[in-house]
Every structure is written in structure tokens, then in C-alpha cells.
């Protein structure tokens, strides 16, 4: 496939996720070009229109100097009928804004922990999928700052089921899709059947190898990227695409 | 000012793509009125249909270096959820546009989400729930009668007298109809029996509400309709038969102030900018309930033009105000 990897400035500087993604995709046999939308998105969109790709892997994250750039780009790609990986525009708009995500989750009846995670175990789960998401085993965040990492959380079967059910529920309420990470808090002394609390969603989680090994196990990084590409191609498309494609074939 | 209009494809007449033929005051087409009146204000006007190649259209627009793009696109081949991203695409090309950003359009397009966000302001919203596409589960407060409507449509599309249901079976049947006919979730809400009111709003950071308009159902107590159905909005014959009219709402001063404040709070919460309209039902106790907000209200002289006129704003002045608002602030952030 022809794939364009879109980076924002922050992602370009860290060099981690983007380089790993591009190298892994090339290793999988794809023709990859890397484009930065850090300063000027217009030439990148012109190149995507003039030199079409089969798929865009957007690593542009919400936040930064233009907080909704990821949302804008996803919407523009939808209008241009270019498939892309990850969360769609509605999920980026809602899930990509911490306060909005927590508000929408709370209004949907999801228990929400305070922004720092509250008391209890801080868990993270990778979610892969569109309409029928698969929730990966929960990991636990250990350490702080640059030394922060994840390890597999040893949860009882009941707790693991509750965490997975809550992650699926949040996936739907925030209109997420593709791949993303959900952070939850498991309060101490959670009674049987008790619900873990939502902390935040990372709608464009890092895809670097160290994190991939921890958070995305049992998939190896290449298998993870294959799944993400496949989900991008199968992301529910706006109905008008089908109409246009039918018309073009006719 | 160089003003480029961006329209839904079917709104651009094949025999007059530049809207150069003489103005027809009787035209039912909103675009016709807005474009001619804008030209009448002395602006240099160009017109583009969005077309199948959105990128190509936007690059051609950008080449003309307009001061502002008047975005009147409401759908893309019938899909409103994609059309909401037109301001984003324009913003990525550094183009200012009238009205709201894609974020506001996306928030208001999703009526279920918009209702929740408005309810979180402490304002009255009808209780309800969504029956997701592909399911037949009604999980939520069943407070009959209820109204079942499409989650994402506008202009009362998908709403008929059959939308009001009184049993769970009828609710699921109507939800199935919406799933099948419009391929989207069904939003089910408690039906608020009462008056149908709209409040137009103008502004960005300091929005101002215009006087409320009422959709009057003249024969509602004689078996006639009492809700804004697709037919009631689209068919003159139907409206005449059931004596459906639009009038300046007769409200006490306190209620008028409350409704204006309500509309402004909704406008801000949903990030609407430029111009918009907020729709309400007023129950029999006089309590306003939020129904929906519209970032692309009908700008015809006999609709938004009349409402602006109640506030002393002529049609030309209304359109100039919308253009001026689009030029305020950075205007191209798309956010």
C-alpha cells in the first residue's frame, strides 16, 4: 500500500513513535512517505490530493498550539475521501479534549475519577476496533514522568471483566474507533460488580516499541500496526463515500 | 469585500451558476436571496458548488483570494455529518468563513450530544435516550408520549406525526424506520406538549438573542398537527390546510428575557459563532425546553430576515453583520 504518515511538530521532535511507525510500515512492505503538518498543512493536503495514497496514518495529536488540528485534518480527510487510521473527527473532538471527554462520560452515567486519577490503581487499556472493539489486558502505570512505564496489571477475572466492559462503554460514549487508550482508576475496596472510574482517553496514543511491548501485548509491534492499518481501511465510512464510489464506477 | 459562496451542489442552477440572472423576490431558494442581497451590498461575489472534489473546489476558491467564504453547505450527498467539516477544510487553507466552526457544527449536528451538553448547564431538556443503529434496545426513561427523531438530521427531516409514540412497541417501530430510512441512530425524547419557539442569535464572544419566533399550529386543538414535521416545513399546501403560520412570539417580558438568556447560553456552550438559531418547546406551565440548535438556519428574508427585522436590523444589514462577524477574531482557526 501507499501510506502517508502525518506528524505534528511535537511528534517530529520526539522522533520515537513516528520513526518506529515509518520503519515498521516499510518493513511490512508498504511505500511510506512522512509528512509534517507542523507549520503548514496546506501543501500536505495538496500532495495527498495530487499523489494519492491508500491510507493516511495520522500521528497528529490533539493539543499544542492548534488544539483541534487533529480534528480538522480528520474532517478534511473525510471530505477528501481519503481513508485514515485511528479515531474519527467526532471522537477527536470529544475524546481529545480532556474536560469535554470527562463531561460527556459523566453525562452518560460513567463514573469519573478526578483528573489525577483519584485513589486506587491507575490502569490503562488499549482498545482496538470500530463498532465491536477489542479491549486488551489492562496495564498498570508505574513510576513518574520520564520513568513512567506500564506493566501488566494482575486483576481478578471479575475486575478484568469490569475494566473491559467500562472501556467498551467509554469507546461508544465518546464515539471512538480505530485504536486508542483509555485510562481508568480502580478504587480500593471495589465491591464485586463495582465499576472502575474513567480518568482520560488518549485518542492518539504513542506507538513506540517500548510502549507497544508493554501496553499492546500480546501483539508484537508489527502485528499491532497491521491491525491498525486494517481498522483504518475498514473504518465506517460516511454514507456519501459509497454513493460517490458507485457513481464513479458507473 | 471579495465574498465567495460555497453551496450544496443542487443549489447551483445549471443555467445560472453565477447567480447572475435578475433577482426574483418570490424565489423559494435561500441561496438566491443571500447571494443577490450580498451583491447588492457592493461586494464582489463568486459562487462555487462544493462538488465531488472538495479539495479541488477549495484550492480554486483559495486561488481567488476571497476575504471570506460564505459557507452554505448543509450536506454532502445527503450526509450532514461529513458536511460539518467544510469549515475545517477551509481553515486548513487559511480561509475565513461565515458562521460556525466545524466543532460547533459537529456538536450541534449530534442532537443527543447537544441535548446532554445543554442539560449540563442546568437548563431544561427533555429526558431521552438513543436507540443505536442496528439495535432494538430501548434503554432509558420511558415517559410517554415520546417523540422519536433522527439523531443527526436537520430541517425536521425524518419527523412526521408518526414520530410521536405512546408505547414501547411503537417507539421501537419508529426507531427501526429511522434506522432503515436514514441509516442512523434514533433519538427518543419525552414529548413536550406546548408551543414551538425559535430564537435567532447573532454574535461571537458576546452573542445577542433576537426576538423569539413561534410556529403557530392553528388547528392543533381541532385534530391538526402540533409539531414541526418535515411536511409542515416543506409544503405550503399542508401549512395552509392546517393553518400553520410563523409569528413573533407573544411572551411576557420575563419569559422573553429567560428565553433569550437560555438561547445565548446554549449558543455559547455549543461553540456557535456568527449566527444561529435555538429551538425550544414551551410546556403548558410556561417552562422552555431545549430541542436543538442550528448553526445553518434559514436565512431567507421571510425567515431569519423577518426575525432580524423585529430587532431593527434590515436584511442587508443582517447579511453585512454576518460578514463582519466572520472577519472578527482570527477567523481561520477552525476552532
The residue segments making up the domain with residue A102 are 87-235
A241 found inside a domain: no
Domain boundary among A38, A65, A84: A84
A192 found inside a domain: yes
Closest Cα of chain B to A79: distance in Å? Answer: 6
Q: Cα B299 vs. chain centroid, distance in angstroms?
A: 10
A79-108 pLDDT tens trace: 999 999 999 999 999 999 999 999 999 999
The band of A131, judged by pLDDT with boundaries at 50, 70 and 90, is confident
Kindly state the percentage of chain A with pLDDT values over 90.
60
Q: For residue B198, what are the contacts with CB-CB under 8 A and spacing of at least 6? A: B212, B213, B214, B215, B277, B278, B279, B280, B307
Instruction: Kindly state whether residues A230 and A116 are assigned to the same domain.
Output: yes
Residues 197-216, chain B, touching A (beta carbon < 8 A): none
**What confidence score (pLDDT) does residue A117 get?**
61
> Is there a contact between B120 and A72 if contact means CB atoms under 8 Å apart?
no
Query: Rounded mean pLDDT of B175-189?
Result: 95
A117 found inside a domain: yes
Instruction: Kindly state whether residues A91 and A164 are assigned to the same domain.
Output: yes
- Cα–Cα distances (Å) from A185 to A135, A162, A171, A181, A198, in that order, read 16, 11, 16, 13, 6
Q: For residue B294, what are the contacts with CB-CB under 8 A and spacing of at least 6? A: B108, B154, B276, B277, B278, B279
**What confidence score (pLDDT) does residue A241 get?**
61
Check: CB of residue A9 under 8 Å from CB of residue A39: yes
**What confidence score (pLDDT) does residue A192 get?**
62
Longest dimension (CA), chain B: 58
Query: Which residue of B lies nearest to A102 if distances are taken between CA atoms?
Result: B117
**Residue B6: beta bridge partners?**
B48, B71
A137 found inside a domain: yes
Mean pLDDT, chain B, whole residue set:
95
Check: CB of residue A181 under 8 Å from CB of residue A205: yes
Instruction: Kindly state whether residues A180 and A230 are assigned to the same domain.
Output: yes
Instruction: Kindly state whether residues A149 and A127 are assigned to the same domain.
Output: yes
Kindly state the percentage of chain A with pLDDT values over 70.
85
Query: Poorest-confidence range of A34-48, A132-146, B28-42?
Result: A132-146
Instruction: Kindly state whether residues A164 and A227 are assigned to the same domain.
Output: yes
Kindly state the percentage of chain B with pLDDT values over 70.
98
pLDDT score of B55 more than 60: yes
> Is there a contact between A72 and B334 if contact means CB atoms under 8 Å apart?
yes
Instruction: Kindly state whether residues A77 and A109 are assigned to the same domain.
Output: no
Question: The domain that contains A169 carries what CATH number?
Answer: 3.30.470.20
Domain boundary among A49, A64, A84: A84
Mutation choice for A interface testing from B50, B53, B57, B81 by most A CBs within 10 A: B81
Query: Poorest-confidence range of A33-47, A227-241, B14-28?
Result: A227-241
Domain boundary among A47, A63, A84: A84
The band of B295, judged by pLDDT with boundaries at 50, 70 and 90, is very high
A244 found inside a domain: no
Question: The domain that contains A68 carries what CATH number?
Answer: 3.40.50.20
A136 found inside a domain: yes
pLDDT score of B335 more than 50: no
Q: Which residue has the higher pLDDT, B304 or A194?
A: B304
Residues 108-127, chain B, touching A (beta carbon < 8 A): 110, 113, 116-117, 119-120
Instruction: Kindly state whether residues A73 and A136 are assigned to the same domain.
Output: no
Check: CB of residue B193 under 8 Å from CB of residue B185: no
> Is there a contact between B85 and A93 if contact means CB atoms under 8 Å apart?
no
> Is there a contact between A79 and B82 if contact means CB atoms under 8 Å apart?
yes
Query: Which residue of B lies nearest to A237 if distances are taken between CA atoms?
Result: B82
A2 found inside a domain: yes
A56 found inside a domain: yes
pLDDT score of A118 more than 70: no
Check: CB of residue B194 under 8 Å from CB of residue B283: yes
- How many domains does one find in chain A? 2
Longest dimension (CA), chain A: 62
Closest Cα of chain B to A80: distance in Å? Answer: 6
Instruction: Kindly state whether residues A3 and A56 are assigned to the same domain.
Output: yes
Instruction: Kindly state whether residues A139 and A49 are assigned to the same domain.
Output: no
Instruction: Kindly state whether residues A96 and A71 are assigned to the same domain.
Output: no
B318-333 pLDDT tens trace: 999 999 999 996 444 4
How many CB atoms sit inside 10 A of residue A93's CB?
Answer: 30
Instruction: Kindly state whether residues A80 and A106 are assigned to the same domain.
Output: no
**What confidence score (pLDDT) does residue A90 get?**
96
Instruction: Kindly state whether residues A58 and A93 are assigned to the same domain.
Output: no
**What confidence score (pLDDT) does residue A249 get?**
33
Query: Rounded mean pLDDT of B186-206?
Result: 97
Amino acid at each position: 500500500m501507499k501510506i502517508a504518515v502525518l506528524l505534528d511538530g511535537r511528534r517530529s521532535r520526539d522522533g520515537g513513535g513516528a520513526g518506529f511507525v515509518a520503519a515498521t510500515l516499510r518493513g511490512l512492505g508498504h511505500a511510506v512517505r512522512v509528512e509534517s503538518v507542523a507549520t503548514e498543512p496546506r501543501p500536505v493536503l495538496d500532495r495527498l490530493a495530487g499523489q494519492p495514497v491508500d491510507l493516511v496514518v495520522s500521528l497528529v495529536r490533539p493539543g499544542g498550539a492548534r488544539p483541534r488540528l487533529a480534528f480538522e485534518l480528520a474532517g478534511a480527510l473525510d471530505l477528501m475521501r481519503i481513508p485514515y487510521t485511528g479515531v474519527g473527527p467526532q471522537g477527536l473532538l470529544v475524546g481529545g479534549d480532556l474536560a469535554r471527554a470527562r463531561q460527556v462520560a459523566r453525562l452518560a452515567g460513567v463514573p469519573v475519577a478526578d483528573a489525577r486519577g483519584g485513589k486506587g490503581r491507575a490502569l490503562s487499556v488499549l482498545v482496538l476496533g470500530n463498532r465491536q472493539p477489542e479491549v486488551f489486558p489492562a496495564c498498570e502505570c508505574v513510576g513518574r514522568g520520564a520513568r513512567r512505564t506500564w506493566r501488566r496489571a494482575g486483576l481478578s477475572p471479575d475486575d478484568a471483566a469490569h475494566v473491559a466492559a467500562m472501556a467498551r462503554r467509554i469507546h461508544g460514549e465518546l464515539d471512538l474507533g480505530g485504536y486508542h487508550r483509555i485510562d481508568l482508576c480502580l478504587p480500593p475496596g471495589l465491591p464485586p460488580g463495582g465499576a472502575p472510574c474513567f480518568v482520560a482517553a488518549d485518542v492518539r496514543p504513542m506507538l513506540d516499541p517500548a510502549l507497544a511491548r508493554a501496553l499492546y501485548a500480546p501483539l508484537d509491534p508489527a502485528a499491532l500496526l497491521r491491525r491498525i492499518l486494517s481498522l483504518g481501511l475498514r473504518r465506517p465510512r460516511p454514507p456519501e463515500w459509497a454513493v460517490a464510489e458507485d457513481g464513479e464506477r458507473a | 469585500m471579495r465574498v465567495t459562496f460555497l453551496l450544496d451542489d443542487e443549489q447551483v442552477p445549471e443555467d445560472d451558476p453565477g447567480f447572475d440572472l435578475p433577482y426574483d423576490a418570490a424565489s423559494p431558494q435561500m441561496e438566491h436571496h443571500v447571494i443577490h442581497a450580498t451583491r447588492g451590498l457592493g461586494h464582489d461575489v463568486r459562487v462555487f458548488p462544493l462538488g465531488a472534489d472538495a479539495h479541488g473546489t477549495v484550492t480554486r476558491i483559495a486561488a481567488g483570494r476571497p476575504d471570506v467564504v460564505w459557507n452554505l453547505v448543509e450536506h454532502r450527498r445527503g450526509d450532514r455529518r461529513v458536511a460539518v467539516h467544510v469549515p475545517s477544510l477551509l481553515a486548513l487553507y487559511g480561509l475565513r468563513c461565515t458562521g460556525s466552526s466545524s466543532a460547533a457544527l459537529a456538536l450541534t449536528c449530534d442532537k443527543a450530544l447537544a441535548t446532554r451538553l445543554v442539560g449540563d448547564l442546568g437548563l431544561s431538556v427533555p429526558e431521552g435516550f438513543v436507540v443505536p443503529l442496528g439495535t432494538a434496545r430501548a434503554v432509558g426513561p420511558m415517559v410517554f408520549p415520546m417523540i422519536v427523531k433522527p439523531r443527526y438530521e436537520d430541517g425536521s427531516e425524518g419527523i412526521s406525526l408518526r414520530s410521536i409514540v405512546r408505547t414501547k412497541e411503537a417507539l421501537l417501530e419508529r426507531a427501526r424506520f429511522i434506522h432503515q430510512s436514514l441509516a442512523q441512530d434514533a433519538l427518543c425524547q419525552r414529548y413536550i406538549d406546548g408551543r414551538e419557539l425559535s430564537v435567532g442569535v447573532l454574535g461571537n464572544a458576546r452573542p445577542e438573542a433576537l426576538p423569539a419566533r413561534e410556529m403557530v399550529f392553528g388547528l392543533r386543538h381541532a385534530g391538526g398537527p402540533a409539531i414541526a414535521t418535515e411536511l409542515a416545513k416543506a409544503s405550503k399546501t399542508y401549512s395552509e390546510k392546517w393553518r400553520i403560520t410563523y409569528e413573533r412570539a407573544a411572551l411576557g417580558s420575563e419569559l422573553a428575557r429567560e428565553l433569550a438568556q437560555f438561547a445565548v447560553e446554549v449558543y455559547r456552550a455549543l461553540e456557535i459563532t456568527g449566527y444561529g438559531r435555538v429551538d425550544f418547546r414551551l410546556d403548558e406551565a410556561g417552562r422552555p425546553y431545549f430541542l436543538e440548535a442550528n448553526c445553518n438556519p434559514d436565512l431567507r428574508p421571510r425567515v431569519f430576515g423577518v426575525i432580524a427585522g423585529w430587532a431593527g436590523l434590515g436584511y442587508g444589514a443582517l447579511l453585512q453583520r454576518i460578514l463582519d462577524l466572520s472577519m472578527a477574531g482570527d477567523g481561520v482557526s477552525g476552532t
